[in-house]
Structure 1
Amino acid sequence: MTLGSRARKSARGNRWGLAVLGLPFLACGAAALATGLGVFGAGLARATLLSDAAAGQLQRPWVPYVAAAVAVLVALLALRWLIVQGRTDAVARLRMEPDPASGTTELSAGAARGVFEDEVGDYPGVRRARARMTESSVRPHLRLDLTLNDDADAAAVWRRVRSEALENLRTALELERLPAVIRMSMTAPPKNPRREPA
């Protein structure tokens, strides 16, 4: 399973988990509100929340320990959920095609990304280039965020990235294909440009 599919599975699990937890809480809250407003009768609205028997059960010596255990369990589940949210689909190392004679070669994704960003960053009109390798260490995908000058030719930059930089990176990584997503944004011109003296 790739990191990207794991992230999608995690997002789907989040939605289901929130729905499973949220719907009972919503139902209990709506029922409590309706009871308090007297929808189910004035007698039920004035009744105490716990009967004397239930209040007596809560005074047993083992109740605080059970409550503490439940609180620790809920805290551990919440901590696990937070840790899962911090996972990213970025790939740290790239695995080259295995060679039966020499074995498997691994390359730092950061090194490949740095060379790629430097190459694209030197193109005319490019102010900043940020790349990220995602999905899989064997079949990576590339996400490139470009910030262009306000007078840059975006179409020319896109063509050059596609025909030169991506091709160079694909060849260096010995990949048959390298799917890429390129996002470009333009920098706003200065609000008060300085005028050159005449």
Structure 2
Amino acid sequence: MARDRYRRSARGNRLGLAVVGTVLLLVGLAALAVGQGFFGAGPAGQTLLNDVVQGVLAQQWVPYVAVAVAFVAAFLSLRWLMAQGIHDTVGRLSLESGGEGRVQVDEGVVSDAVEREVGDYPGVRRARVHLTESVHHPHLRLALTLDEDADVAQVWNRVRGEALANLRRSLGLEEVPAVVRMTMTAPSRHARRSLA
């Protein structure tokens, strides 16, 4: 499933960042320890590029290896960045399919309808909707920004009892799994002063 793929991707990101961070931290601590003389005065007093290192860097093959490593690093970095931009929003929903054809609707049309309906509820300042997972069995992600004095329980009951029921009915589905995230707006400066 797409959700499992994104969880694995997030877990891989965390692991990769932890490994890179740990390696950089260890290299930095080792360099600091050498510079402070924790490994004796000999290593601390040596130049960074001694004769052996300079001899290796003078080889003809070194620039080619450096360019190849840079290309591989750039490719892996671009691939990682592109993977971060991938989202699981479906483009179209398939409502019916049969011998006479199939009925599809654009995800944006459905999202806009739900956003308009929920956005008209008292206390809702903004609603953002995304349909994800599958064209045949969509999941709903609803992000609500509520006024500071909104009745959260009433908004939730209306979303569950009206908006989600209307969505299921209009799509002809028995269930549409949903994740609803509600945040409150910050109080105005005037309200903060009066509270103080």
Q: Which has the higher helix share?
A: 2
AA paired with 1:164? Answer: E
CA distances 1:66-113 after superposition (whole Å, capped 9, x unpaired): 2122112211211111111122232222233543x2354332111111
- Residue 118 of structure 1 aligns with which residue? 116
The 3 A distance-change label for structure 1 pair 118 and 20 is: same
- Residue 102 of structure 1 aligns with which residue? 100
The Cα of 1:186 is off from its aligned counterpart by 4.2
CA distance in 1, matches of 2:102, 2:148: 45
Give matches, 1:182-193, under 5 Å: 182-187=180-185
Give matches, 1:34-183, under 5 Å: 34-96=33-95, 98-99=97-98, 101-183=99-181
CA distance in 2, matches of 1:152, 1:58: 67
CA distance in 2, matches of 1:158, 1:129: 13
- Residue 19 of structure 1 aligns with which residue? 18
Q: Structure 2: where are the runs of 5+ without partners?
A: 192-196
AA paired with 2:89? Answer: A
- Residue 196 of structure 1 aligns with which residue? none
The Cα of 1:7 is off from its aligned counterpart by 1.9
The 3 A distance-change label for structure 1 pair 186 and 42 is: closer
AA paired with 1:143? Answer: R
Q: TM-score, normalised by structure 2?
A: 0.83
Q: Which structure ranks higher in relative contact order (CA pairs < 8 Å, sequence separation ≥ 6)?
A: 1
CA distance in 2, matches of 1:57, 1:188: 60
Secondary structure of 1:31 counterpart? helix
CA distance in 2, matches of 1:182, 1:11: 21
Secondary structure of 2:42 counterpart? helix
Q: Structure 1: where are the runs of 5+ without partners?
A: 194-198
AA paired with 2:4? Answer: S
CA distance in 2, matches of 1:18, 1:191: 39
The 3 A distance-change label for structure 1 pair 47 and 111 is: same
The 3 A distance-change label for structure 1 pair 148 and 58 is: closer
The Cα of 1:39 is off from its aligned counterpart by 1.1
Instruction: Assess if the C-alpha contact under 8 Å between 2:148 and 2:187 holds in 1.
Output: yes
What is the root-mean-square deviation in Å for CA atoms of aligned residues?
2.4
The Cα of 1:170 is off from its aligned counterpart by 0.8
CA distance in 2, matches of 1:93, 1:43: 68
- Say how many residue pairs are matched: 191
The Cα of 1:169 is off from its aligned counterpart by 0.5
The Cα of 1:16 is off from its aligned counterpart by 1.7
